[in-house]
């Protein structure tokens, strides 16, 4: 098509920033302007004779062929957007305007590179999505999933891993991976090793077996990894590196721009994760006793309300055991507050081991504990737990390098026998505990 008579016109067309492409009825390029090299990475000579559809991003091919069919039916096309794969493997976003030349049986299109605009739009949408998830996600697991879905809109992702560093031990845990973790809760190699490398290097890492052969030899690569690309970035905050985002792609290599994009998004990810972690800590502080780790009074009352509602609806019994340590003040006075704290933690541990996982042991405050036994069949079941607790506390406790015999006063209340309301049951158990306490002993040094 390009003859000497068209040379002056072709020279002018080659000055255009948009690309002019002419495709025959079979879908082959028969003419392309010079701008195609800047946009697609191929020289005009390399593109001539190529099938247009082979350059189209695989996921966009079906609708691109449908659009081409409409153009060939003499329906001009304006502002059609799709993606192409550049010669270097990168993805470019194109906006097309095209028409059909009936006389020449040619499809003539004008291609404008809108990649920067699409990336800006995608980035804004991603930041908004992550920020929204930070506020709206129910928990960290839901947040990680939303981050995965958001980043998958920006970059090719076959596997997505979130690794979080434990502030105390420095070890990595893997709370999220789109592919399954192994039985030990770790991602398959080389993912775990790459996360470790990114964490301790505190630098991004783009890797495949060809670009970094030395690292590839050092890592255990599976059959599916030899042609895979990896992109990892550290999650850096004011407190240091708190974790790693690691992506795997088998569809296309990760570019330097992809790395810059993920690093930019990671700043928002760090903010979202830290905010969610703070909410989780605050929620735990509001629901659990800091010293013993047991549910606190507010959490216990919520669970009691739920248990009572369940047995009112389905029938059955609930039991409350009000537990108070005998002469706890003497332990504090003798061994100091640290000794008293040790005792409270030890008591919490022993009480927890005396009940089922479905039951609740809570600390109401001071040396007062309460046990909620759900779904018991008979009153004897509660008495059996009381006996088990007393037997557990017959063995002395090692507190402040001393062996102490610790006495307990336990008051019991049953639903429905002793009342059908929370306040009634708590008062009944409390009153019975104080009756028992009047006969209680005191801790004795067994050394």
Answer yes or no: do 321 and 399 share one domain: yes
Q: What is the pLDDT at residue 331?
A: 82
Last residue of a domain, one of 63, 95, 113: 113
The domain tally of the chain equals 3
| Residue 408 domain-assigned (yes or no) | yes
Task: Give the CATH number of the domain where residue 181 resides.
Answer: 3.30.450.40
| Residue 167 domain-assigned (yes or no) | yes
Answer yes or no: do 439 and 331 share one domain: yes
Positions in the chain whose pLDDT score sits under 50: 1-5, 441-447
Answer yes or no: do 282 and 374 share one domain: no
Task: Give the CATH number of the domain where residue 422 resides.
Answer: 3.30.70.270
Answer yes or no: do 167 and 20 share one domain: no
Answer yes or no: do 278 and 135 share one domain: yes
Whether the predicted model's global pTM rises above the 0.85 cut = no
Range of the domain at 233: 118-287
Residues 325 and 338: their CA atoms lie apart, in Å, by 16
| Residue 33 domain-assigned (yes or no) | yes
Answer yes or no: do 18 and 93 share one domain: yes
Q: What is the pLDDT at residue 334?
A: 84
- Phi, psi (deg, nearest 5) at residue 83: -120, 145
| Residue 343 domain-assigned (yes or no) | yes
Last residue of a domain, one of 269, 287, 305: 287
Q: What is the pLDDT at residue 98?
A: 95
Query: Going by C-beta distance under 8 Å and a sequence separation of 6 or more, which residues neighbour residue 332?
Result: 339, 340
Answer yes or no: do 43 and 170 share one domain: no
- Cα–Cα distances (Å) from 106 to 14, 63, 88, 98, 144, in that order, read 19, 19, 28, 10, 49
Q: What is the pLDDT at residue 351?
A: 94
| DSSP codes of every residue in 73-119 | TT--EEEEEEEEE-TTS-EEEEEEEEEEETTTTEEEEEEEE-HHHHH
Q: What is the pLDDT at residue 151?
A: 87
Q: Look up residue 164 and give its DSSP letter.
A: E
| SS3 at position 440 | coil
| DSSP codes of every residue in 277-291 | HHHHHHHHHHHB-TT
Last residue of a domain, one of 262, 287, 312: 287
Query: Going by C-beta distance under 8 Å and a sequence separation of 6 or more, which residues neighbour residue 266?
Result: 233, 234, 235, 236, 245
Answer yes or no: do 167 and 248 share one domain: yes
Answer yes or no: do 128 and 187 share one domain: yes
Answer yes or no: do 279 and 229 share one domain: yes
Answer yes or no: do 92 and 160 share one domain: no
Answer yes or no: do 65 and 171 share one domain: no
| Residue 401 domain-assigned (yes or no) | yes
| Residue 28 domain-assigned (yes or no) | yes
| Residue 292 domain-assigned (yes or no) | no
| Residue 197 domain-assigned (yes or no) | yes
Question: How big, in percent rounded to 5, are the helix, strand and coil portions of the chain?
Answer: 45, 25, 30
CB count within 10 Å of CB 349 equals 14
- Cα–Cα distances (Å) from 348 to 39, 91, 325, 368, in that order, read 68, 59, 11, 10
Q: What is the pLDDT at residue 282?
A: 84
Q: What is the pLDDT at residue 67?
A: 95
């Amino acid at each position: 098509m390009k003859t000497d008579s068209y040379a002056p016109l072709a020279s002018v067309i080659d000055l255009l920033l948009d690309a002019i492409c002419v495709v025959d009825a079979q879908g082959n390029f028969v003419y392309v302007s010079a701008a195609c090299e800047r946009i697609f990475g191929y020289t005009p000579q390399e593109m001539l004779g190529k099938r247009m559809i082979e350059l189209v991003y695989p996921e966009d091919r079906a609708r691109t062929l449908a659009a081409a069919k409409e153009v060939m039916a003499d329906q001009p096309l304006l502002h059609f957007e799709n993606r192409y794969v550049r010669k270097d493997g990168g993805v470019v976003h194109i906006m097309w305007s095209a028409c059909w030349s009936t006389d020449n049986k040619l499809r003539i299109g004008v291609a404008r590179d809108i990649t920067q605009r699409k990336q800006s739009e995608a980035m804004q949408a991603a930041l908004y999505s992550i920020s929204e998830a930070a506020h709206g996600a129910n928990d960290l697991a839901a947040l990680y999933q939303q981050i995965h879905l958001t980043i998958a809109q920006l970059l090719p992702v076959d596997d997505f891993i979130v690794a979080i560093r434990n502030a105390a031990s420095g070890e990595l845990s893997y709370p999220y991976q789109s592919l399954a973790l192994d039985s030990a809760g770790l991602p398959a190699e080389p993912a775990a090793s790459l996360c470790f490398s990114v964490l301790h290097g505190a630098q991004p890492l783009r890797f495949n077996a060809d670009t970094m052969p030395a690292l590839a030899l050092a890592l255990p690569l599976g059959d599916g990894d030899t042609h895979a690309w990896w992109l990892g970035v550290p999650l850096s905050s004011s407190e240091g590196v708190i974790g790693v985002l690691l992506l795997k792609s088998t569809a296309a290599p990760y570019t330097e721009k992809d790395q810059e994009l993920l690093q930019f998004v990671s700043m928002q990810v760090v903010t979202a994760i830290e905010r969610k972690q703070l909410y989780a800590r605050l929620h735990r502080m509001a629901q659990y006793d800091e010293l013993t780790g047991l549910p606190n009074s507010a959490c216990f009352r919520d669970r009691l309300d739920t248990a009572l509602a369940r047995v009112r609806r389905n029938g059955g019994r609930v039991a409350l055991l009000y537990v108070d340590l005998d002469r706890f003040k003497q332990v504090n006075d003798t061994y100091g507050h640290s000794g008293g704290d040790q005792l409270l933690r030890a008591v919490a541990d022993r009480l927890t081991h005396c009940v089922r996982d479905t039951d609740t042991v809570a600390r109401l405050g001071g040396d007062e504990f309460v046990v909620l036994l759900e779904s018991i069949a008979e009153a004897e079941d509660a008495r059996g737990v009381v006996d088990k607790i007393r037997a557990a506390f017959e063995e002395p406790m090692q507190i402040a390098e001393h062996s102490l015999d610790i006495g307990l006063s336990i008051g019991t209340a049953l639903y429905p026998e002793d009342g059908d309301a929370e306040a009634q049951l708590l008062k009944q158990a409390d009153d019975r505990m104080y009756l028992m306490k009047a006969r209680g002993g005191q801790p004795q040094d067994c050394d």
